[in-house]
Structures are given as C-alpha cells and as structure tokens.
Amino acid sequence: MWALCLAALLIISITHWVYRWRNPRCHGKLPPGSMGLPLLGETLQFFTPNTSSDIPPFIKKRMKSYNITDPDLNYFVFQQEGNLFQSWYPDTFTEIFGKQNVGSLHGVMYKYLKNMVLHLFGPESLKKMIPEVEQAALSKLQQWSCQDITELKDATASMIFDLTAKKLISYDSNKSSENLRENFVAFIQGLISFPLDIPGTAYHKCLQGRKNAMRMLKNMLQERRAESQKQPVDFFDYVLEELKKEGTILTEEIALDLMFVLLFASFETTSLAITLAMKFLSDHPLVLKQLTEEHEMIIKQREIADSGLTWKEYKSMTFTFQFINETVRLANIVPGIFRKAVREINFKGYTIPAGWAVMVCPPAVHLNPAKYENPVAFNPWRWEGVEVSSASKHFMAFGGGMRFCVGTDFTKVQMAVFLHCLVTKYRCEAIKGGDIVRTPGLQFPNGFHVKIMEKDTRNRKQRYIAADA
C-alpha cells in the first residue's frame, strides 16, 4: 500500500514538474516557441552543425513556425544593454573564458576595459600599425608563394596571431621556448563540445589549452614587471602602468583574462574572414577585377610605386570596404549573441520574463530577403553608397550597442591591407574549395587550399610608366 502511494506521489510530482517546465510562469504572453525536453530543452537541435551559407536550420525552422527573429527586437536588445539587458553566456563558456572575462563584466568595469582596448585599437594607433600589418602580409604571402599548396585558414590564423601577439605582448614564436598559439588551437577545438572534463575529451583539452595559455601570459607579465621599461612598447606595458595606479579597479586576473580574450577573438575571427574573402575572390572574377583595379590605381598615383601603404590610401579604398562588408555579412562569424533580461520586459505584445536569456541572431538579419535582394548571393555592389559606421537594424556583423566590437577597425585594417598586398603583388589559385561548418559558437572552413604565385612586378611598373607617358 505504501509503495503504491509513494509511486503515485512520484508520478504526480514528475507530471507537475514536466508541466511547470513546459508552461513556465509569466505575467503576460510568452513569445511563441517550445521549452523542449526537460533539462535538455532544444540544445541538441541548437548545436547541430550547418554546412550551408543560409540561416541555420534550427533558426529557419522556428522562423517558419513562429515568425521569430524580429529585426526591431534585435536592435532593441542592443540599445537597451545596461538597462533592460546585460551580456550573458552559459556557465560552461564562463568557465572556459574566465569568470572575469570582458564578456561577463558589466557597468563601470566593462567601460573601463573598453577604453583600455580603444587605447590599442583607436585611429591613432591604427595609423601607426599600417606598415606593420603590410609587412606581415607581404612576408607571409612570400612564404606561401614558395609552397606548393597552402591550407589557408590555418595559415592566415598563424599570420594574424603572430601580428596580434606582437602588438599585445611582444610575443615572437621564433624566440619563445613554448608555442602560445598551439594552446589556443587546443582551446578552440574543444570550445563547442560536451562539457565533460575527463582526460581525452575535447572539453578537457580546451580547458588545458586555456590553462597553459594563461600560465604563459602570467609568466610574461611577471617577467615584464621585473624589467625596467622606460617607454611602453606594447599593450602589456600599458596594462602594467594601469595596475600600478593608486586606487585602480584593474586586477591582474582581469588583465590576463582580457589578454586571453583579445588574442582569441582577433586571430580566430579575422582569419576566418580573410579565408572567406579569398574564397569569394576565387569564385567571382568580376569582383577580383574591380578590387585589383582599385588597388593598382592606388599604386599608380604614388610618386614611388613601391612606397608603403598610407592611412590616406587605406581610407580611399571604396570598393574594398564594400567587399569587406559583403564578406562579413555572409560570413556571419558570430552566429549568436546572448543577452539576459534583467527584469520583465514587454515587447510587441509579448513578455520576456526576468532572468531569461535572449539570443540575437545576426544571420537572420543579414540574410533577410526583405532587406537584401537574393541574400545568399555575394554582391559587394549592394553596398555602393551605403555608409556603415556601426551596427544597425540590418547589419550587426560586429555586434551592436555599447558592446559594439572595439576591434572592428583593426579587423578592417588587417583585411584591407592583406587584400592590397594580395591583388597587387600576388595571384591566388584555389586548388580545393573548403566547407564552412557552422555551429552556434564557431565556424571552421575545412580544406580550403590555395596556390599563391608572385606577379611580375617589373611588368607592372613598366605598364604604369607607359600609362603616364
């Protein structure tokens, strides 16, 4: 008898729990959708890889069923950060990136770190970086031209990482006894994986990669502290000066997490964008032709053809910026941006309960046929005459609101300068096109191999002389 009562009580409890799961309390009308399975929700469907350039199937299915991904709501979420919403990521992401990472901080501390990063990536700093970026691109292109074949994503990731690490911490892989980038590669490969911290799992390798990278960064910081540096030479020196200030709110833990996130974000996202840019060039000869003409005109107008690229020349690259905008629109490098409602929010007749997470979906914005004609087609000319200085309702490739990516201009500089070096001095032949495997966290272009060949620069100079004559 008691056994039957306990069984009945258990069944009633489970039934009630499942009911409450599927019908959460709300003081209004919840947005349309499903809570999915208890505890798991719809996580398994959400993380299903996508190998197309279109909107992820998970999102597309729910757009068709529930008419979600309202552009106005996406924009509203960004504009109300710090008021109605705050940055949020799952606990596993917080553990991986660090509890004090810039994505998890809010208010005064976030603004303070943002200003620190602007010190590194502001216009004045970028003007000084142009020669370094150009030299790095030329050096790598020359190296690749001596190879029979180059796996482009890995090669560009190496180039971007070396450049960023040099600017941040004066790191030189050729002079270091440990390979810092290898730790980031291990970190990335396990970033989107089941959070099982057991030796041999991708998640364990991810955590070990972060641990080793953080150990190296901490050792570098301690070594720099012991040196007597008169003038700051990199971002590490600037951080040390901030740590020395009386009453500073910066801690060593936050500073190191910031370094880690900057290194990760810069080389992984920018290398993906450059890889896709070269793939688009190989697939669209008319785009390559116009891009080449723009950059060869820059050289033609110089007094000395082989003088370095200038900030004025960079700012004159009209078609190049159209090309970059279209590349990042289709790349959708960050497929999802998470925010949490800090209090109950009413929007267009629906209620978002306090504490609920909201995911802004840039692909749904960038591939909206109501805004972009034939949205999956690569068409840089669609940006002709369009000014893109920050996020809008229809373009949020670099985030939006107060968390608009402060490294946006640095990314554009690296892409534009690399393209300049590529189309004026080299030619690229795609040997094997790769697949873009998209997940809600990262994308991996697999097997995009190219052959880089140096152009006959002597003939190019003669052509300019003949044109001037």
Chain length of the chain: 469
In a domain, residue 270? The reply is yes
pLDDT of residue 205: 85
Query: In sequence order, what are the residues at sequence separation of 6 or more whose Cβ sits closer than 8 angstroms to the Cβ of residue 16?
Result: none
Q: Is 36 exposed, middle or buried (0-12, 13-18, 19+ CB in 10 A)?
A: middle
In a domain, residue 327? The reply is yes
The DSSP string of 114-159 is HHHHHHHHSHHHHHHHHHHHHHHHHHHHHHHHTSS-EEHHHHHHHH
CATH code of 53's domain:
1.10.630.10
**By C-alpha distance, which of 315, 267, 253 is closest to 167?**
267
| pLDDT band at residue 268 under the 50/70/90 scheme | confident
CA 281/CA 295 separation, integer angstroms: 14
Please give the residue range of the domain that contains residue 123.
Answer: 28-33+49-468
Query: In sequence order, what are the residues at sequence separation of 6 or more whose Cβ sits closer than 8 angstroms to the Cβ of residue 239?
Result: 116, 221, 250, 255, 258, 259
| Selected residue with higher pLDDT from 50 and 275 | 275
In a domain, residue 38? The reply is no
Count of structural domains, the chain: 1
* pLDDT tens figures, 370-379: 889 999 999 9
| Selected residue with higher pLDDT from 214 and 195 | 214
In a domain, residue 21? The reply is no
CA 339/CA 324 separation, integer angstroms: 27
User: What's the mean pLDDT in 26-33?
Assistant: 83
Is 60 exceeded by the pLDDT of residue 458? no
* pLDDT tens figures, 416-447: 999 999 999 998 888 877 777 776 656 666 67
Query: To 5 degrees, how large is the angle CA 397–CA 399–CA 400?
Result: 125
Is 60 exceeded by the pLDDT of residue 312? yes
User: What's the mean pLDDT in 173-202?
Assistant: 77
Annotated binding site: 405
CA 213/CA 322 separation, integer angstroms: 36
pLDDT of residue 466: 41
**Furthest C-alpha separation in the chain:** 107
In a domain, residue 56? The reply is yes
* pLDDT tens figures, 120-161: 788 888 898 999 999 999 999 999 999 999 988 889 988 998
User: What's the mean pLDDT in 60-87?
Assistant: 82
In a domain, residue 9? The reply is no
In a domain, residue 43? The reply is no
In a domain, residue 434? The reply is yes
Arithmetic mean of pLDDT over the chain: 82
Backbone phi and psi for residue 87, each to the nearest 5 degrees, phi listed first: -60, 140
Annotated binding site for heme: 405
| pLDDT band at residue 274 under the 50/70/90 scheme | very high
